[in-house]
Structures are given as structure tokens and as C-alpha cells.
């Protein structure tokens, strides 16, 4: 573990304050209110000492009992007045803190999500599904706790501590010094246990996030989990993560418990010792009863405040870790935002001597010295065995990844000079596994061009052969497709994806043909829709069907990151090479 850096809590505090200060209209008045209520809470021991201490001293000085009672009546009225005022202010400051804290947090949440959406693709390719969102959400929970609970507590207890100490010193500086003798022991205990507690709480956070990842993975792939009857396997996987979480939590709890027991013992031990010492002072005339009472009452108050500091400190340490991770995430460079944004693509594209490896697997040369050109409107089929690099070509066209050598160009312009947004807005992809969002059919089609009118959406659906099946649904275009589109058939999902692409009206179309067979009617509808979609656009198809490759203007045969053959279906068949083999073994 790296040595704790004392500047880190300060810099993360400053960072969080930045967010809170954006809500200053609510936050600052709440802070002032908090300060006021903390100061007012010191009035409680102050008045209490008048009720407990003064009568004894007054009786000792032969003051008439009626006068003492009259003074006590006045004190209690004042006390109730102050308590009422404190309660009223507290009512507003609690709401104010929640409002400003949650608003600041919402800002942070949306900053994080906006940033996350703009991170380069390799970042996501290196993440385990679900790990990132779990991490972020558990970090945000810690930050939330701090904003809503710890910051108010810190301010409140600091005020009580400082104010209480002032009163203690005024009551008896001698007794104060006796009491303060115990402080170094408490500080040492905080340093010793605090570090351990922090280490275990971080480990607990990590294992809980792992457990969350298991849920996410299982739910995402629930169909596979069930089909392979792997429920028990997943349960065990989850149980293992939970066991690990429990193990570190218990270890952390042991340290925390030891720490708290020690603090409680030290705290009450000190008070007992001071009471004993004070009684001796009182007996010897070294202190008045009022001052002694004041001392004890304020000590209990200060002690109670001091007792909350270990919790506050451990929360601040956790928050430092959490904010550091969030800040690291926010500091990652987003995708490039530069480049020509005006360009209207004609649809020509070329790869020139492109080489590529995924940063997560630098030992695998995925594409090597790849060159090919496609002219506007051409229909090109990519075929080849699994893992040959066809999907990677799509990924480079979309600018998800950049080549390590060579160049991708569009209309003879290097891709790197074109804005990613412009480029992607003129390319559409119809993936193999169509992912729909959990909204309505209309929203899912509109995804191709946000803001499209109902007529445009319907026209796209008609062209995609989707309108008829949509019309038979009781709620038509407003039908909810279920999570990930599970309420629709594979062919229906594909046609919605095609409608989406038609609406996007791209110059270049990337199509990853489904390997799973559809029934012949569904296939006919999908193929018809695809043909309409490809009409007049440059289309690259990762082909799995013979009918698709037959219709292609050109076929590129991939093997181990290279194009080993290229030509039309008939040309390639006569070559007696890889393509012929693929066709004969029905791989296309």
C-alpha cells in the first residue's frame, strides 16, 4: 500500500467543494445555519451548569431559596427558547444540505456519464462488462454519504469541539490540562487503527463491486445461463464474491470494533479520572462547584464530539479513495473532437497498408498490411473464418480504434482529419445481434435520427418491411420492446435495425449479417429490406449467406488479418483457393 498522502484529502475536499459551491445559493445559507445550530447546542451544557452548579454555590453563600428558584425558572425558559430556535434552524438546514448535496451529486453524476460516453472505445474494450458501472456507483454512494452526512457532521463537531474546549479552559485550565493529557493516546490509536480500517474498507468495496459484476453479467446473459442450466454455477460465483466481501468486512470490523472499544474506554476513563481529580480540587477549595459542573458537562459534550471523529475521519479517507478514482475517470482523455466537420461523404473508402493490434492484447497482430479500396455505391462482401479480422475492419472504419500503421481514408481524405461525429453520422451499422433499448418501437427507430417525425419513422419502417408487423401490435409504434428488445423475434429486431439505418440515411453501410438462420418468410422480408437499404450506398457486409456474396460487386476473403483473395463470386470459384473451400464447406 502506498504511503498516505496528506494532501490527497485536501485536494479531494477542494474538488467536492467545487461541486457544492455550484449550489451556493442553498449550500452557503445551510452552512451558516449549521454553524448557528452548532453554536446554539453549546448553550445546552451552559444552561445545565447554571441549573446544576449555581444553586449549590448560592446555597453555600446563604442566598434565599426563593431567589434560587426564580433564577432557575428564568434559566429553563431561556433554555427552552434556545432549543426551539435551534430546532427551527435545524429544520431548514437539514433540508438545505440534502438539497444542495443531491443537486451537486446529480451534477457530478451527469458529468461522469457525459464523460464516460465520450471515452475512446479501447477503454471499454479493456473493461469487464459491469465492472465500471459498479465501481462508479459504489464510489458515488460514498461521495453521497459524505456530502449529505459527513460534511455537516464535521462542521458541527468541529464547532462543538472548539467552543467546548474554550468553555472548559475558562472553567478550569488546570483540569483541562489533566484531561488533554489523554489526547495523544487517542491520536495514536486513530493513526494505528485508521490505516487498517481504511485498507479493509477498500478491499470490501472492491469485492462488493465484483459481486455486483457477477449479477450484471448473469442478468445480461440470462438466456445463456438458463439454456446451459448454469444457475448453480452463477449462484456459486456470486456466493464466492459475497464470502470474500464478508471475510474482509469481518476483518475490518474487528479492527473497527477494537478501535471503538479503545476509544470508548479511553474517553470514559478520562472523564472518570478528571471527575475524581476535580472532586479532590473541589474538596480542597481549588475550584467552585459551578465551574466543576461546567467542566464535567462540557467535557461530556466535547468527548461525545471527539468520539464521532474516528468515524468522520474514516469516512473522509474512504471518500478520498472514491473521489480519486472518479477524478481519474474524469481525467481520461475523451475521443478526439477535432477534424473536418463539414464533409459530406460520397462513400469511397480505402485501407492502405493498415496494421492493427488491440491494446488489450498486444501480442496478437489482428490486421497486417491490409489494403483495399471501395468506390461509392459499391457492395463489398467480407468473408473468412472466425477471428480473421472482419469485425475489426468495421471498428477501424467507425474510428473506434486507430491503425498502428497505414491509413484509413474516406473520399481520399485521411480518416484522422475528419471529425469523428461527422464520420459516424454518415455511417450506419446493422449489427449481427441487434441491440434495442428498452423503450417503444418508435423510439428505437428514431434512434437512427433523433428528432425524426412520426411520418418519417413510419416511412422508414415500411421500407424496412417492419410496418406491417408493427401495425398488428395492439399498441403499434408505442409498443414497448422489453429489455433489449426481448419481446420481438430475431427477424423483427433486424428489421427495426434496418429501419433505424434507413432513417439515418448514411453514405456508408456496415452490415454484419446474422449467422442464425431465420425462417424463409422472415429471411425474405429481411433480405428485401436490406436490398432497399443498400441501394445507392457503399455497403460492406460481413457475409454468412451465399445469396449475399453472390450479389456482391466484390468479395474480400480474409485470413489471419490479411486479404488472401478478392474478386467476384464466379472469379473466386475458378481460383480453387480459400473462397472455394469456404463455399464448399458451407462457411458462407
Ligand X SMILES: Nc1ncnc2c1ncn2[C@@H]1O[C@H](COP(=O)(O)OP(=O)(O)OP(=O)(O)O)[C@@H](O)[C@H]1O
Interface positions with ligand X (CB under 6 A) = 125, 358, 360-361, 364, 366, 384, 386-392
Which of 262/400 has CB closer to ligand X?
A: 400
Which of 418/540 has CB closer to ligand X?
A: 540
Q: Are strands 554-559 and 379-383 parallel, antiparallel or unpaired?
A: parallel
Give CA separation, 30 vs 20, 42, 587, in Å.
Answer: 11, 19, 69
Q: Which of 33, 52, 51, 31 is nearest to 41 (CA)?
A: 33
Distance from C-alpha of 256 to C-alpha of 238, rounded to nearest angstrom: 26
Which of 415/557 has CB closer to ligand X?
A: 557
Minimum distance from CB of 347 to ligand X (Å)? 22
Which of 251/368 has CB closer to ligand X?
A: 368
Minimum distance from CB of 541 to ligand X (Å)? 12
Which of 499/552 has CB closer to ligand X?
A: 552
How far is C-alpha 8 from the chain's CA centre?
21
Which of 360/575 has CB closer to ligand X?
A: 360
Minimum distance from CB of 389 to ligand X (Å)? 4
Q: Where are the beta strands (DSSP E) in 227-378?
A: 349-356, 367-374
Minimum distance from CB of 494 to ligand X (Å)? 17
Which of 9/406 has CB closer to ligand X?
A: 406
Minimum distance from CB of 553 to ligand X (Å)? 21
For residues 321, 325, 328 and 329, what is the CA-based torsion angle, rounded to 10 degrees?
-160
Query: Dihedrals φ, ψ of 552, to 5°?
Result: -70, 145
Distance from C-alpha of 533 to C-alpha of 223, rounded to nearest angstrom: 31
Helix, strand, coil percent content, the chain, rounded in steps of 5: 65, 10, 25
Minimum distance from CB of 490 to ligand X (Å)? 17
Minimum distance from CB of 528 to ligand X (Å)? 25
Which of 321/387 has CB closer to ligand X?
A: 387
At residue 141's C-alpha, the angle toward residues 140 and 143, to 5°, is 60
What DSSP string describes 392-433?
Answer: HHHHHHTTSS--SEEEEEETTEEGGGB-HHHHHHTEEEE-SS
Minimum distance from CB of 388 to ligand X (Å)? 4
For residues 356, 360, 365 and 370, what is the CA-based torsion angle, rounded to 10 degrees?
-20
Which of 376/431 has CB closer to ligand X?
A: 431
Minimum distance from CB of 121 to ligand X (Å)? 8
Q: Are strands 413-414 and 349-356 parallel, antiparallel or unpaired?
A: unpaired
Q: Which of 555, 539, 475 is nearest to 501 (CA)?
A: 539
Distance from C-alpha of 351 to C-alpha of 353, rounded to nearest angstrom: 6
Amino acid at each position: 500500500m502506498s504511503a498516505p498522502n496528506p494532501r490527497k484529502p485536501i485536494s479531494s475536499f477542494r474538488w467536492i467543494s467545487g461541486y457544492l459551491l455550484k449550489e451556493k445559493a442553498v449550500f452557503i445559507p445551510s452552512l451558516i445555519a449549521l454553524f448557528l445550530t452548532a453554536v446554539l447546542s453549546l448553550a445546552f451544557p451552559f444552561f445545565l451548569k447554571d441549573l446544576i452548579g449555581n444553586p449549590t454555590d448560592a446555597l453555600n453563600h446563604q442566598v434565599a431559596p426563593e431567589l434560587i428558584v426564580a433564577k432557575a425558572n428564568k434559566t429553563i425558559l431561556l433554555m427552552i427558547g434556545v432549543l426551539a430556535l435551534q430546532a427551527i434552524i435545524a429544520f431548514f438546514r437539514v433540508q438545505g444540505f440534502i438539497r444542495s448535496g443531491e443537486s451537486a451529486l446529480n451534477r457530478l453524476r451527469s458529468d461522469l456519464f457525459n464523460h464516460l460516453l465520450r471515452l475512446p472505445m479501447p477503454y471499454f474494450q479493456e473493461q469487464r462488462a459491469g465492472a465500471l458501472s459498479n465501481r462508479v456507483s459504489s464510489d458515488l454512494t460514498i461521495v453521497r454519504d459524505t456530502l449529505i452526512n459527513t460534511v455537516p457532521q464535521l462542521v458541527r463537531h468541529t464547532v462543538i469541539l472548539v467552543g467546548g474546549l474554550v468553555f472548559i479552559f475558562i472553567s478550569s485550565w488546570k483540569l483541562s490540562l489533566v484531561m488533554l493529557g489523554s489526547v495523544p493516546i487517542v491520536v495514536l490509536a486513530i493513526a494505528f487503527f485508521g490505516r487498517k480500517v481504511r485498507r479493509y474498507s477498500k478491499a470490501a468495496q472492491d469485492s462488493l463491486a465484483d459481486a455486483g459484476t457477477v449479477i450484471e453479467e448473469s442478468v445480461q446473459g440470462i438466456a445463456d445461463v438458463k439454456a446451459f442450466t448454469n444457475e448453480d454455477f452463477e449462484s456459486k460465483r456470486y456466493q464466492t464474491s459475497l464470502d470474500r466481501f464478508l471475510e474482509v468486512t469481518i476483518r475490518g470490523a474487528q479492527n473497527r470494533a477494537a478501535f471503538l472499544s479503545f476509544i470508548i474506554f479511553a474517553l470514559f476513563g478520562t472523564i472518570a479520572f478528571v471527575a475524581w481529580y476535580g472532586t479532590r480540587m473541589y474538596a480542597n477549595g481549588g475550584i467552585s462547584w459551578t465551574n466543576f459542573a461546567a467542566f464535567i458537562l462540557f467535557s461530556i459534550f466535547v468527548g461525545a464530539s471527539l468520539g464521532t471523529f474516528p468515524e468522520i475521519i474514516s469516512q473522509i479517507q474512504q471518500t478520498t479513495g472514491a473521489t480519486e478514482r472518479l477524478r481519474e475517470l474524469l481525467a481520461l482523455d475523451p475521443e478526439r473532437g477535432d477534424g473536418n466537420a463539414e464533409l459530406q461523404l460520397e462513400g469511397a473508402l480505402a485501407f492502405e497498408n493498415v496494421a492493427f493490434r488491440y491494446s488489450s492484447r498486444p501480442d496478437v497482430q489482428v490486421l497486417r498490411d491490409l489494403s483495399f479500396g471501395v468506390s461509392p455505391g459499391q457492395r463489398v462482401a467480407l468473408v473468412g473464418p472466425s477471428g480473421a479480422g472482419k469485425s475489426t475492419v468495421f471498428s477501424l472504419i467507425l474510428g473506434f480504434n486507430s491503425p498502428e500503421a497505414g491509413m484509413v481514408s474516406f473520399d481520399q481524405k485521411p480518416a484522422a482529419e475528419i471529425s469523428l461525429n461527422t464520420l459516424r453520422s454518415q455511417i450506419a451499422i446493422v449489427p449481427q445481434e441487434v441491440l434495442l433499448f428498452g423503450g417503444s418501437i418508435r423510439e428505437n427507430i428514431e434512434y437512427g435520427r433523433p428528432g425524426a417525425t412520426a411520418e418519417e419513422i413510419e416511412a422508414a419502417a415500411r421500407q424496412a418491411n417492419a410496418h406491417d408487423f408493427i401495425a398488428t401490435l395492439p399498441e403499434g409504434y408505442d409498443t414497448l420492446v422489453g429489455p433489449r428488445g426481448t419481446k420481438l423475434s430475431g427477424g423483427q429486431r433486424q428489421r427495426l435495425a434496418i429501419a433505424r439505418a434507413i432513417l439515418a440515411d448514411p453514405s456508408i453501410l456496415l452490415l454484419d449479417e446474422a449467422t442464425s438462420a431465420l425462417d424463409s418468410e422472415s429471411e425474405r422480408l429481411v433480405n428485401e429490406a436490406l436490398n432497399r437499404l443498400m441501394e445507392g450506398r457503399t455497403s460492406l457486409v460481413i457475409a454468412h449467406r451465399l445469396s449475399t456474396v453472390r450479389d456482391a460487386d466484390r468479395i474480400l476473403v480474409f485470413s489471419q488479418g490479411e486479404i488472401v483473395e478478392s474478386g467476384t463470386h464466379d472469379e473466386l470459384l475458378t481460383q480453387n483457393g480459400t473462397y472455394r473451400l469456404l463455399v464448399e464447406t458451407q462457411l458462407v
